[in-house]
C-alpha cells in the first residue's frame, strides 16, 4: 500500500523552480498561487516582529524577544484541570532531541525522519582529521529511538530512494565518531538519487561549506517539507506524498529546505532561505531560483528560525555573496553512492 506523490515537476526542475519561486517570492503579504504541476499553496508572509536594532557601537549580542503573556492555569482541584483530565499520561507529540558531536537534531516519530537538523560550520570544523574515513561509516538504526517509532534499514530496501543525509557526512570530518553519527537513520530522509541527492543537493551542500572561506561562522538548519500542489483538473490543493517501508511508515518529503545564517565575526550577518523540490534538478537551474522568504518556510514547517536575532537587520545572503552551486568532483559523487539502499 503506497501513497504516491502527485506533486511531479513536469519537464524537470525548471518548472519546479518556477513553481516554488513564484509561490514564495511575492513581496505582498499574501503569496499568489500558480496553477502549474508542482505549484504549492499560498502562504501568508507575516512581517517579523522587531526586537532591537544593532549598531556598531552596541555589543553584538542576539536580542531576546519579549516573553509571551502568562496563561493562567486552573487549580489542580478543578474538575477541568489537566491533572484531572489526563491523570494517566500525556500522549504527545514527542519530538526526540539529539545532541551529537557535530550537530543537533529533532526527530519526527510519525514520519520517521528529522524535523530539522542544525550545524555550525567553520574552517576549523571542516578540516580533515587524520584517520577519518567515510568508508569506515555505515548506515545504522538509532538505538535511542523507541522501536515503535524507529526508521529501520529494511524500510529503505528496494524503495527507489537514497538514504539522504540531512547533515552531510562531509561536514563532520573532524572526528570519526562525528562522521559515524551522521549515518544514524534519525539523520536520514528519503531523497531522489540521480539528479538530486547525488547531484544538485550535493552541490548545494558544497556551497554551504565553501561559505566558510568568506564568513567566520556559518549556521545551517536543514529539514523536510510536505507542500501542497494544485490539481490541474479540479483546481483544489492537496498534500500527497509517497510512504516507504514494510509496513509503509517513512514519509517521503515533497521538498527540503535549508536556512543559512552567516557571520563575518563582527556581527555583520546575512541570511538566506531555500526550498528545493525532492526531484531531479538540472545543474543549470540557478540556486537563486529556490530562494524564498524565511517567513514562508516557517509558515509551512511550523518552526521558528533564529528568533533571537533582529532579522530585519540581516543582509540578504545572495546579495552579500554569489549564491551559485558548482558540480562537485567525481570522487564526492562516488561517495554519495553509499546512500543507495540495498537492492
**Binding site as annotated, residues for Mg(2+):** 197
Give CA–CA dist 146/130, Å, rounded. 35
Give CA–CA dist 223/103, Å, rounded. 13
182 near 168, Cβ under 8 Å? yes
Q: What is the CA radius of gyration of the chain?
A: 21
DSSP letters of 118-159?
EEEE-TTTTS--TT--GGG---B--TTS-GGG---GGGGTT-
Annotated catalytic residue within 113, 120, 165, 241: 165
Give CA–CA dist 172/267, Å, rounded. 25
**Binding site as annotated, residues:** 197
How far is the CA of 237 from the CAs of 24, 202, 242, in angstroms?
16, 30, 17
For 277, residues 6+ apart whose C-beta sits below 8 A from its C-beta are 7, 9, 13, 16, 19, 20, 38, 254, 255
Taking the mean position of all CA atoms in its chain, how far away is CA 39? 19
- Residue of 96, 253, 94, 239 lying closest to 166 (CA atoms): 253
Instruction: Look up 120 and say whether it is catalytic.
Output: no
Task: Return the residue matching grid coordinates 534499514.
Answer: 153
- Residue of 107, 105, 94, 111 lying closest to 252 (CA atoms): 111
Q: CB 313: neighbour CB atoms within 10 A?
A: 15
Give CA–CA dist 285/12, Å, rounded. 10
Q: Cite the active site residues.
A: 165
Amino acid at each position: 500500500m503506497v501513497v504516491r506523490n502527485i506533486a511531479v515537476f513536469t519537464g524537470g526542475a525548471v518548472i519546479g523552480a518556477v513553481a516554488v519561486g513564484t509561490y514564495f517570492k511575492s513581496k505582498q503579504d499574501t503569496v499568489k498561487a500558480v496553477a502549474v504541476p508542482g505549484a504549492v499553496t499560498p502562504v501568508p508572509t507575516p512581517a517579523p516582529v522587531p526586537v532591537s536594532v544593532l549598531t556598531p557601537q552596541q555589543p553584538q549580542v542576539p536580542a531576546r524577544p519579549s516573553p509571551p503573556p502568562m496563561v493562567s492555569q486552573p487549580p489542580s482541584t478543578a474538575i477541568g484541570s489537566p491533572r484531572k483530565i489526563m491523570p494517566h499520561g500525556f500522549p504527545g507529540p514527542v519530538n526526540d532531541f539529539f545532541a551529537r558531536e557535530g550537530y543537533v537534531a529533532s526527530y519526527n516519530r510519525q514520519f520517521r525522519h528529522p524535523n530539522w537538523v542544525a550545524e555550525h560550520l567553520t574552517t576549523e570544523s571542516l578540516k580533515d582529521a587524520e584517520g577519518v574515513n567515510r568508508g569506515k561509516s555505515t548506515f545504522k538504526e538509532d538505538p535511542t529511538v523507541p522501536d515503535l517509532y524507529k526508521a529501520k534499514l529494511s524500510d529503505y530496501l528496494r524503495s527507489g530512494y537514497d538514504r539522504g543525509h540531512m547533515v552531510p557526512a562531509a561536514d563532520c570530518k573532524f572526528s570519526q565518531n562525528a562522521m559515524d553519527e551522521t549515518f544514524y537513520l534519525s539523520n536520514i530522509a528519503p531523497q531522489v538519487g540521480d539528479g538530486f541527492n547525488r547531484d544538485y543537493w550535493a552541490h548545494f551542500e558544497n556551497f554551504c561549506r565553501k561559505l566558510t572561506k568568506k564568513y567566520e561562522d556559518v549556521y545551517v538548519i536543514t529539514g523536510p517539507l510536505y507542500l501542497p500542489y494544485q490539481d490541474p483538473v479540479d483546481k483544489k490543493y492537496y498534500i500527497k506524498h509517497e510512504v516507504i517501508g514494510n509496513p509503509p511508515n517513512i514519509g517521503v518529503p515533497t521538498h527540503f529546505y535549508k536556512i543559512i545564517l552567516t557571520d563575518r565575526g563582527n556581527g555583520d550577518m546575512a541570511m538566506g532561505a531555500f526550498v528545493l523540490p525532492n526531484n531531479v534538478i538540472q545543474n543549470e537551474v540557478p540556486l537563486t531560483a529556490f530562494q524564498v522568504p524565511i517567513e514562508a518556510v516557517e509558515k509551512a514547517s511550523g518552526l521558528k528560525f533564529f528568533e533571537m536575532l533582529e532579522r530585519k537587520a540581516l543582509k540578504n545572503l545572495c546579495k552579500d555573496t554569489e549564491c551559485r552551486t558548482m558540480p562537485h568532483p567525481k570522487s564526492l559523487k562516488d561517495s554519495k553512492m553509499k546512500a543507495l539502499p540495498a537492492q
